[in-house]
Amino acid sequence: MTRSGAVTFDVVIVGGGPVGLVTALLLARFGVSSAVLEAADGRAAAGSRAICFQRDVLDVFGRVGCGDALVARGVTWTTGRTYYRGTELFSVSFPEPDEGATPPWINISQAEVERRLCGLVAAEPLIDLRYGHRVVGLEQDGGGVEAIVDGRGRVRAAYAVGADGAHSDVRRLLGIGFPGRSFADRFLICDVRAELPFPRERRFHFDPVWNPGRQVLVHPCPDSVWRIDQQVPDGFDLDAERASGALDARIRRIVGDVPYEIVWTTAYRFHQRCAETFRAGRAFLAGDAAHVFAPFGARGLNSGVQDAENLAWKLAFVLRHGAPGRLLGSYDAERRAAALENLRVTGRTMEFLVPRTPEQRARRVAALERALHDPDARAEIDSGRLAEPYRYADSPLTTPSGPSGPFLPGALCPDVRAPWAANRCGCGGCSARAWCC
Ligand SMILES: Cc1cc2nc3c(=O)[nH]c(=O)nc-3n(C[C@H](O)[C@H](O)[C@H](O)COP(=O)(O)OP(=O)(O)OC[C@H]3O[C@@H](n4cnc5c(N)ncnc54)[C@H](O)[C@@H]3O)c2cc1C
């Protein structure tokens, strides 16, 4: 306890969503203690926003202790196909993963990922996860930062991380702007359980018979659940559709006559925003608190986990290993640049998916028609560019070097099989059949 009555930790994390939980677990690996303050009283039982998790993020989950379990439970997929009016335009394939290697993509519900992370947090003595703790104030001085919790006093730490989602109170309390755009276009997610003859692939349909003039994305999930994400018209009313049977008809057009059960459904709008800075003094923003993107391309939670990974080792090196405080400046430089790149990519995708003007719409139809016959025109079709790890080419931590083949400065190092090195690095995670860390 401090003189102000605040309980002290190395780091206080505001928000016990996936990004807050991963940040705490990564910090604990370095022996750094944290309090995770979560406003909600517990975890929602149903519903999943994110479903697609990429390889480097699965590797991070592996480092905190649940990567293998998630890969075993998730649906691994390696192919994405794009259709126009039922005709395949093109496909993208990732190499099938070797035995023991992390797959390029799995689909699994965000809710299940959060449950696994919570299990790990509960077993970690360096993490104090507190539900029902809404942070309403933040004060900092030369030595630390204090989170003021509604009706429950203060929590003091050397640093704070705001991982409190798109409507971040931490961002507001720090006076950091969140410029960007919110779009009026509406999309509907129906997660349905059904035995369907669809393959384990990402399938994106422009203008299918089931949703003329609009689009539908279908993804396989564990336990025979399928995510159906479709664009819906202005004025769409989910409750009214449910009551009238229109929702059933909408789903039936896609799944056919087989029995199905709705697991979760939600209608959403998308937003494209990035915080003006990811750092104010001793406080940092991560995940949706720092950036929000349209979901096509799966860049939301994936990039939030990359934020956590980037920030955690820097905080740990400053707190535990005598690194200079200026190392923390590279977090904003690296992760904000990554967020701006994600905004650029998802912005272009959404221009194609939801054209604003009659001219843009006409251009989109013309491009889709041309792509039916002309392979060169397919480059214009944008059904979501799948996320890749960002290369920190301009980071203050990246030093220039000469030609270096696949090992580019600032880029994620490609995996290599190194059975001779198994367990010599002491990470405890690699073996003769798995990839070395
Ligand atoms: C429809 C949809 C589909 C998506 N699909 C994908 C996908 O396939 N892949 C992908 O990578 N991403 C996807 N995303 C994005 C992904 O869901 C988010 O990026 C992710 O949830 C962000 O995690 P977070 O921890 O930053 O924030 P959140 O999950 O929003 O968690 C923030 C937490 O902070 C808590 N909180 C808020 N205010 C306070 C406060 N004052 N004090 C204490 N606690 C507070 C909240 O209760 C919440 O638990 C999708 C999003 C949507 C909407």
- Tens place of pLDDT for every residue, the chain, 437 residues? 555 656 699 999 999 999 999 999 999 999 999 999 999 999 876 667 899 999 999 999 999 999 999 999 999 999 999 999 999 999 999 888 888 889 999 999 999 999 999 999 999 999 999 999 999 999 999 899 999 999 999 999 999 999 999 999 999 999 999 999 999 899 999 999 999 999 999 999 999 999 998 999 999 999 999 999 999 998 899 999 999 999 999 999 999 999 999 999 999 999 999 999 999 999 999 999 999 999 888 899 999 999 999 999 999 999 999 999 999 999 999 999 999 999 999 999 998 988 888 888 899 999 999 999 998 999 999 988 888 889 898 898 988 776 666 677 888 877 666 665 555 555 554 544 444 43
Q: Does residue 52 sit within a domain? A: yes
Specify the residue with its C-alpha closest to ligand 1, atom 41.
135
> What pLDDT score does 100 carry?
80
Please say whether the beta carbons of 314 and 329 come within 8 A: no
Please identify, by atom number, the ligand 1 atom nearest to the C-alpha of residue 270. 53
In a domain, 358, yes or no: no
Clarify whether residues 68 and 160 are in a common domain.
yes
Q: What is the CATH number of the domain that holds 242?
A: 3.30.70.2450
Q: Is residue 390 part of a domain?
A: no
Structure-token pair, residue 178: 């969140």
Residue 1 lies in a domain: no
Of ligand 1's listed atoms, the one at least distance from the Cα of 288 is 26
Residue 361 within any structural domain of the chain: no
CA dist., res. 400 & res. 101, Å (int): 30
Instruction: Say which residues have a Cβ less than 8 Å from residue 353's Cβ, sequence separation at least 6.
Output: 215, 231, 296, 382, 383, 384
Q: Are residues 235 and 111 in the same domain?
A: no
Domain membership flag for residue 295: yes
Compute the Cα dihedral for 187, 191, 196, 202 and give only its sign.
Answer: positive
Q: 142 and 71 in one domain?
A: yes
φ/ψ (deg, to 5) at 377: -75, -15
Ligand 1 pocket by C-beta < 6 Å: which residues?
14-20, 37-40, 49-52, 110, 134-135, 163-165, 169, 189, 268, 287-289, 295, 298, 300-302, 304
Print the domain residue range for 159. 7-80+103-182+272-346
Q: Of 268, 297, 327, which residue is a domain's last? A: 268
My answer on whether 263 and 283 are in the same domain is: no
Which residues lie closer than 8 Å to 94 by C-beta, 6 or more apart? 78, 79, 104, 105
Q: What is the 3-state secondary structure (H, E, C) of the chain?
A: CCCCCCEEEEEEEECCCHHHHHHHHHHHHCCCCEEEECCCCCCCCCCCCCCEEEHHHHHHHHHHCCHHHHHHHCEECCEEEEEECCEEEEEEECCCCCCCCCCCEEECCHHHHHHHHHHHHHCCCCEEEECCCCEEEEEEECCEEEEEECCCEEEEEEEEEECCCCCCHHHHHCCCCCCEEECCCEEEEEEEECCCCCCCCEEEEECCCCCCCCEEEEEEECCCEEEEEEEECCCCCHHHHHHHCHHHHHHHHHHCCCCCEEEEEEEECCEEEECCCCEECCEEECHHHCEECCCCCCCHHHHHHHHHHHHHHHHHHHHHCCCCHHHHHHHHHHHHHHHHHHHHHHHHHHHHHCCCCHHHHHHHHHHHHHHCCCHHHHHHCCCCCCCCCCCCCCCCCCCCCCCCCCCCCCCCCCCCCCHHHCCCCCCCCCCCCCCCC
Domain limit, last residue, from 325, 346, 367:
346
Q: Which of 14, 164, 265, 310 has the most ligand 1 atoms within 8 A of CB, as the residue to mutate?
A: 164
Q: Do residue 32 and residue 122 come from a single domain?
A: yes
Looking at the fold, whether 177 and 191 belong to one and the same domain comes out as: no
Joined tokens for residue 12? 């206080």
Ligand 1 center to 309 CA (angstroms): 16
Cα 18 to middle of ligand 1, angstroms: 7
The domain boundary residue, chosen from 327, 346, 365: 346
Q: How many residues does the chain have?
A: 437
For residue 368, how far is the Cα from the chain centroid? Answer: 29
Examine residue 96 and state whether it is found in any structural domain, yes or no: no
CATH number at residue 132: 3.50.50.60
Residues 302 and 429 occupy one common structural domain: no
pLDDT at 315: 98
**Do 316 and 197 sit in the same domain of this protein?**
no
- Whether the Cβ atoms of residue 157 and residue 144 lie closer than 8 Å to each other: yes
Residue 113 sits in the same domain as residue 175: yes
Number of domains making up the chain:
3
Q: Does residue 198 belong to any structural domain of this protein?
A: yes
Residue 139 and residue 282 in one domain: yes
> Do the Cβ atoms of 189 and 66 come closer than 8 Å?
no
- 139/176 same-domain check: yes
How far does residue 120's CA lie from ligand 1's centre (Å)? 19
Asked if residue 169 and residue 29 are part of one domain, the reply reads: yes
Note the pLDDT of residue 433.
40
Q: How many CB atoms lie within 10 A of CB 295?
A: 21
